[in-house]
Amino acid sequence: MESALVTGIAVAETLQNQLPWLEKVWLWVTFLGDPKSLFMFYFPAAYYVSRRVGIAVLWICLITEWLNLVFKWLLFGDRPFWWVHESGYYRQAPAQVHQFPSSCETGPGSPSGHCMITGAALWPIMTAISSQVATRAHSTWVKAIPSLAYCTFLLAVGLSRIFLLAHFPHQVLAGLVTGAVLGWLMTPRVPVKRELSFYGLTSLSLLLGASLIYWILLTLGLDLSWSINLALKWCERPEWVHMDTRPFASLSRDAGAALGLGIALHSPCYAKASLEPLPPR
């Protein structure tokens, strides 16, 4: 495992020092691949075009983010920005890497949340566009454009996370594979016409389930605040450590989104809008 971590630092060093002109590109890509952007931008845009696709994006996003939280608790992955100091591997010859405001996330590193959550949540958008393109195009290359764009964007997100010292390559790969598989599995199974109680119970299950897992791990003697302590210790600037990167911040967002989705789908406004045709475009 140590060889994989050393290789990861070498890749990050190459990205930072050999391609410095791409710095702003990587920063923008990691912003676009942030799970928070899914809630704020991708979901509203997808919902405006297609209600079902928009609901799928939000549903898959909140479920996958919850799973990512649990996986990180269980896998205990280091992040490069603290491992490069904690390991002592570079004590004689320090690695030529530096941090950014987006580097200092406080949760464990494996698997990459950006890759896993974004990969899963963008799957219904990719498949919907692919379906539309397939009905209008005859060229195999044209039909492949949505899939190629999806893969290219996720690859860029993964590279940006390595560049920022937020993840090692194997954590990025784990996130990409897991996200794509979850997107493929969940897209056909997105609940749309369910009772409000279903969404309320889902929200409660997310909260209680994560809390139970957290309590069990604590009972077993595991210190689940270890990553927060390391982030605070090795982040170059205290203001770069943000509260919204802590594990329970994403849990509250996911539980709230599940309940909010149910309330919205059962509101009189949604019932009225669902009977009206969408405006022409």
Q: Nearest 10 degrees: CA dihedral of 32, 33, 37, 38? A: 130
Distance between CA atoms of 281 and 264, rounded to whole angstroms? Answer: 25
Q: Is 114 a catalytic residue?
A: yes
Contacts of 70 (CB under 8 A, 6+ apart): 210, 213
Could you tell me the two tokens for 26? 């990587």
Catalytic residue among 114, 138, 170, 266: 114
The CA distances from residue 148 to 115, 143, 155, in Å, are 16, 10, 10
Catalytic residue among 85, 98, 167, 242: 167
Q: Is 167 a catalytic residue?
A: yes
The angle at the Cα of 21, spanning 18 to 22, to the nearest 5 degrees, equals 90
Distance between CA atoms of 107 and 72, rounded to whole angstroms? Answer: 7
Nearest to 35 by CA among 154, 147, 116, 108: 116
Nearest to 60 by CA among 154, 219, 182, 210: 182
Distance between CA atoms of 114 and 122, rounded to whole angstroms? Answer: 12
> Cβ(35)–Cβ(117) under 8 Å?
yes
The CA distances from residue 133 to 50, 93, 141, 272, in Å, are 15, 52, 11, 30
b/e per residue, 135-153, with b = 16+ CB within 10 A? eeeeeeeebeebeeebeeb
Which residues are tagged catalytic? 114, 167
